[in-house]
Amino acid sequence: MPKGQHYGRTQTRAYTSEYHRIFANTFKNLLTVPFGNYSLNADFLSNEHQKFKLTNLECGVRLMTFTINDKPHKIALIIDKRSASNKLYITCPYCHKQRQSLYAIKYAYGCRQCIGLHYASQSERPNERLMRRIRKLRKELWGYDWPDVNNMFEQVVYWPKPKWMRWKTFEHKRGKITELENKYWPMVDTQMKAMFGHNFMPDC
């Protein structure tokens, strides 16, 4: 193999153009409208991806809560006061980072990085590194096509054993992933508290 070239990559990659996106700059009016139930009025989105409840956190941050597949997906509206233009960002329900846009996938909204549309950067935070490791181990066990393989809200403890695998091997591998999942959420919690104060987690 010639130096500097890679062959044999068979993993299929998703491309960002296949997904619909919502953009932070289209939500500016939500900073001043009354709290309550709203809809995005976008035909390309499912009903559940359109309807949300606008609420306020005690720290003053406004929050959109979408109920998708019976689970709450919380997206905060954050104004970056460091920039002169007071640019508006929306937070990813998974990594809670400020983003200019989020992608609509089947049962969620997520940022490009969280839904695996490109390779992780080297400057990722420890919890992102852990998340990537969990997803990698999940894919080794259940495959890339398993519906919730990237969904950190789903815990592998309820996922079925692949037919070909011995129970002992399966329980060992699944136990390892569960152990990492148990480490993951406290890390996310700490990061969220650092970003939003102590008022982010409770429903309000």
Q: Which residues bind Zn ion (CB under 5 A)?
A: 92, 94-95, 111, 114
Q: Which residues contact 64 (CB under 8 A, 6 or more apart)?
A: 27, 30, 38, 52, 53, 54, 74, 75, 76, 77, 90
Vertex 27 angle, CA 21 and 30, to 5° = 145
Closest residue to bound Zn ion by CB: 92
> Which lies closer to Zn ion via its Cβ, residue 95 or residue 141?
95
Cα gap 104→190, rounded to integer Å: 26
Residue 92 beta carbon to Zn ion: minimum distance, rounded to whole angstroms: 3
For the CB of residue 128, give the shortest distance to Zn ion in the complex, in Å. 9
Nearer to Zn ion by C-beta: 61 or 102? Answer: 102
Structural Rg of the chain based on CA atoms: 19
Buried-exposed string 106-127: b where 16+ CB fall within 10 A, e elsewhere: ebbbbbbbbbbbeeeeeeeeeb
User: CB 7 → Zn ion: shortest distance, Å?
Assistant: 31
**Smallest gap from residue 95 Cβ to Zn ion (A):** 3
CB nearer to Zn ion: pick between 92 and 108: 92
Compare residues 88 and 173 and give the one whose CB is closer to Zn ion. Answer: 88
